[in-house]
Amino acid sequence: MRRRIAVVGSGPAGLTFARVLHRYGHPVAILERDPAPDARPPGGTLDLHRGLGQLALDKAGLLTEFQTLSRPEGQAMRILDTDGTVLRDWQPNPDEQANPEIDRGQLRDLLLGSLDVQWGRSVTRVVPGTRDGVLVHFADGRQEAFDLVVGADGAWSRVRPALTSVAPHYTGVTSIETSLDDVDTGHPDLARLIGDGSMAVYGVNRSLVAQRNSGGHVKVYARFRAPLDWHTNLDLADVEAVRTSLLALFDGWAAPVLDLLRHGTAFVHRPLYVLPVDHTWTHVGGVTLLGDAAHLMPPLGAGANLAMLEGAELAESIATAGPGDLDDAVRAFEEQMWSRAARWAKITTAGLERLVSPDPAEALAVFDQVQPS
Ligand SMILES: Cc1cc2nc3c(=O)[nH]c(=O)nc-3n(C[C@H](O)[C@H](O)[C@H](O)COP(=O)(O)OP(=O)(O)OC[C@H]3O[C@@H](n4cnc5c(N)ncnc54)[C@H](O)[C@@H]3O)c2cc1C
């Protein structure tokens, strides 16, 4: 009998899982809360590492299409001092394929392909071990039973409580995102400042990072150490009030750098939360987690990569398991995921400490350690 498999969430983890399972001819129900693929802005750009995200795309049969869409030149990285002095300016070789960038929306469309996502299906909770199998409860009051439910539903997973009571905690660092459109024509000076890839400025306990996306779109991330309630006297929906508050926070920085904030169109508030570095759980038959749901970590270039590789690996393990071996396959996958995720969680946690640090020289040292030679 066919095993009834569901994945909750159609982010990088859920879609890669479904794509690879489909390659093996296994049906999977993809349950997504969003009412449509374009219901929310897709987000910024992602760099996919050769041994992680790119490996996952290879397993999904999508590597060649990724290479057509991605931007190797987006690996360029420039670091400025707060007075605008260029401290580092790294340009990749034209054939450098270690970490090319791709817009998150392009990656989603690539993974979606002809997959049949069930949009507008918001999961509220998952109950393992019932007579019918694992019961999935939806916000509209319906229920459905499966043999395996894979929680790929991100940081605030509704599947996770079936396995562990651990919840994400605040890192002490907040990020505010803004965007610029048509930067080459609308803001040529900023386009030159940012270059083909990313530009970062590190100050005391704060940083500004600008990343070029495709089509002249730029995402800017202002990060700073602050208590969770730092905005008590600020209306976060008031664009001009947030702009003024950020310009005060970054007061004294070079004018061209602050132009990134002056010209930003809207501001999105994102306090950075994480799960514990070595987060695991006691295995429960019929339920598992992937990606941010399993190991939320600071957004420093690993989360989507891990999510995708885990999706591909779990799908392969399930597809190649014998009829009675589904649970063993999931258990073995979890062990492998936990140890790799813990390694990356340590790296990104230490990275965040050093990139938003009282000593900006720490950030430069991080760059010098990871810069490709
Ligand atoms: C600003 C920023 C920049 C980043 N840059 C990078 C980068 O360059 N490289 C990198 O590797 N990582 C990066 N990351 C991290 C990366 O975005 C995440 O690690 C990755 O998106 C995790 O994928 P996921 O599929 O596990 O979860 P998500 O992408 O969060 O997807 C979860 C999905 O589940 C759905 N969902 C949620 N709840 C429910 C529910 N109850 N019922 C049904 N569906 C639900 C959501 O709508 C969503 O579609 C960045 C993160 C941020 C915030």
Average pLDDT over residues 13-28: 97
The pLDDT value recorded for residue 333 is 97
Query: Could you tell me the distance, in angstroms and rounded to a whole number, from the CA of residue 303 to the centre of ligand 1?
Result: 8
State yes or no: pLDDT of 371 exceeds 80. Answer: no
H, E, C per residue of the chain = CCCCEEEECCCHHHHHHHHHHHHCCCCCEEECCCCCCCCCCCCCEEECCCCCHHHHHHHCCCHHHHHHHCEHHHHCEEEECCCCCEEEEECCCCCCCCCCEEEHHHHHHHHHCCCCEECCCCEEEEEEEECCEEEEEECCCCEEEECEEEECCCCCCCCHHHCCCCCCEEEEEEEEEEEECCHHHHCHHHHHHHCCCEEEEEECCEEEEEEECHHHCEEEEEEEECCCCCCCCCCCCCHHHHHHHHHHHCCCCCHHHHHHHHCCCCCEEEEEEECCCCCCCCCCCCEEECCHHHHCCCCCCCHHHHHHHHHHHHHHHHHHCCCCCHHHHHHHHHHHHHHHHHHHHHHHHHHHHHHCCCCCHHHHHHHHHHCCC
Q: Which CATH class is domain 5-75+97-168+275-355?
A: alpha beta
CB-based burial, 158-195: b 16+ in 10 Å, e otherwise: bbbebbbeeebeebbbbbbbbbbeebeeebeebbebbb
Considering the chain, what is the average pLDDT of its residues? 96
Listed range (1-5, 133-137, 204-208) with the worst mean pLDDT: 1-5
Q: Locate 276 and state its tokens.
A: 């514990």
Fold of 170-274+358-370: D-Amino Acid Oxidase; Chain A, domain 2 (3.30.9)
Domains of the chain by residue range: 5-75+97-168+275-355, 170-274+358-370
The pLDDT value recorded for residue 324 is 82
Q: Which residues line ligand 1 (CB under 6 A)?
A: 8-14, 31-34, 44, 46-47, 122-123, 152-154, 158, 291-293, 299, 301-305, 307
Do the domains 170-274+358-370 and 5-75+97-168+275-355 match in fold?
no
For the entire predicted model, the pTM comes to 0.96
State yes or no: pLDDT of 280 exceeds 90. Answer: yes
The pLDDT value recorded for residue 1 is 59
% of the chain exceeding 70 in pLDDT: 99
The pLDDT value recorded for residue 372 is 54
Of 101, 67, 308, nearest in space to 214 by CA: 101
Ligand 1 atom having least distance to the Cα of 221: 1
Average pLDDT over residues 344-355: 97
Query: Could you tell me the distance, in angstroms and rounded to a whole number, from the CA of residue 154 to the centre of ligand 1?
Result: 5
Residue with CA at minimum distance from ligand 1 atom 14: 299
State yes or no: pLDDT of 101 exceeds 90. Answer: yes
Of 104, 260, 88, nearest in space to 177 by CA: 260
Residue with CA at minimum distance from ligand 1 atom 30: 154
Listed range (36-45, 60-69, 197-206) with the worst mean pLDDT: 36-45
Residue with CA at minimum distance from ligand 1 atom 17: 304
The pLDDT value recorded for residue 323 is 77
Residue with CA at minimum distance from ligand 1 atom 41: 123
pLDDT tier at 271 (50, 70, 90 boundaries)? very high
Q: What pLDDT, in 10s, does the model give residues 312-327?
A: 999 999 999 987 899 9
Query: Could you tell me the distance, in angstroms and rounded to a whole number, from the CA of residue 12 to the centre of ligand 1?
Result: 7
Query: Could you tell me the distance, in angstroms and rounded to a whole number, from the CA of residue 88 to the centre of ligand 1?
Result: 30
The pLDDT value recorded for residue 2 is 74
Q: What pLDDT, in 10s, does the model give residues 149-203?
A: 999 999 999 999 999 999 999 999 999 999 999 999 999 999 999 999 999 999 9
Query: Could you tell me the distance, in angstroms and rounded to a whole number, from the CA of residue 309 to the centre of ligand 1?
Result: 14
